[in-house]
Amino acid sequence: MSKRGEAEPQGLSEAAEPLHLGHRERARQRFLAVGADALQDYELLELVLQIIIPRKDTKAIAKGLLARFGSFSGVLGAPPARLAEIKGLGEISGTNLKIIQAAAQRFAKDKVTPDLPILSSWSALIEYCRSQMAFNDVEQFRILFLDKKNRLIADEVQQTGTVDHTPVYPREVIKRTLELSATALILVHNHPSGDPAPSSADVQMTRQINDIARPLGVTVHDHIIIGKNGHASLKGLKLL
């Protein structure tokens, strides 16, 4: 038996395939003519789905995914079990979407190169953090460990929690900092609710880490909170 929604039904009219092929070719030519930035989310998602779902009209599937998950990034970040609920998208196709997400995350990570000061490209840093965390369904706390020239030594997930809480232990953060001989930190965590506004607990925890780090010559550059609807910087908000 085929995976749900992925196999072409037997007996499908031979005349139907050229119609799909013609639409696919027009979609590809539009992409080549105007570029990705000119395409609506459903158009770009449709092109992605055309790669992983052969011999099927993918426009309706693309629109169904966007209606369920709200945005292109939301679709790629959706859990496999929820992707499988979409009519026309089977287990294999859902897995292939997660592979594409992983490729996009790797692309964003490569922009945060260890050879350059990480603070020299703030937009690349935010893009990377969003690609990694914005659509997680539980909170995740990660640390970017930097050397004295603010180059990336390591990027590590320290804790994974629930939908609205991640336990963070400031002394464990500093212990790992000293193990890596890092001299600066950027703290990052996500809010699955979508709202990146810092809570009082976020601010308190950041100040505790900073208070322990400062006498040891370790600088906490920022604590960035990532949400589906944007990001917040505690330093930018003058809370650090």
pLDDT in tens, 151-195: 889 999 988 877 777 889 999 999 999 999 999 999 999 998 888
Indicate if the pLDDT at residue 34 is higher than 60. Answer: yes
Of the given ranges (162-171, 200-209, 214-223, 225-234), which has the lowest mean pLDDT? Answer: 162-171
Residue 168's CB is within 10 A of a number of other CB atoms, namely 21
Query: Does the residue 7 lie in any domain?
Result: no
Boundary-marking domain end, from 86, 106, 126: 106
Q: Tally the residues of the chain.
A: 240
Asked if residue 38 and residue 128 are part of one domain, the reply reads no
Strands 184-191 and 219-227, by their bridges, are parallel
Of the given ranges (12-21, 46-55, 113-122, 129-138), which has the lowest mean pLDDT? Answer: 12-21
Q: pTM for the complete prediction?
A: 0.66
Whole-number Cα distances in Å, 41 to 99, 140, 233: 19, 27, 28
Of the given ranges (32-36, 202-206, 217-221, 231-235), which has the lowest mean pLDDT? Answer: 32-36
The CATH number covering residue 91 comes to 1.10.150.20
Which residue range forms the structural domain that includes residue 223? 112-233
Q: For residue 107, which of 121, 76, 128, 126 has the smallest C-alpha distance?
A: 128
Residue 8 confidence (pLDDT): 43
State how many domains the chain has. Answer: 2
Query: Does the residue 203 lie in any domain?
Result: yes
Asked if residue 210 and residue 142 are part of one domain, the reply reads yes
b/e map 180-205, b = 16+ CB within 10 Å: eebbbbbbbbbbbeeebebeeebeeb
Which residue would you say has higher pLDDT here, 2 or 135? 135
Read off the tokens for 218: 């370790």
Asked if residue 89 and residue 123 are part of one domain, the reply reads no
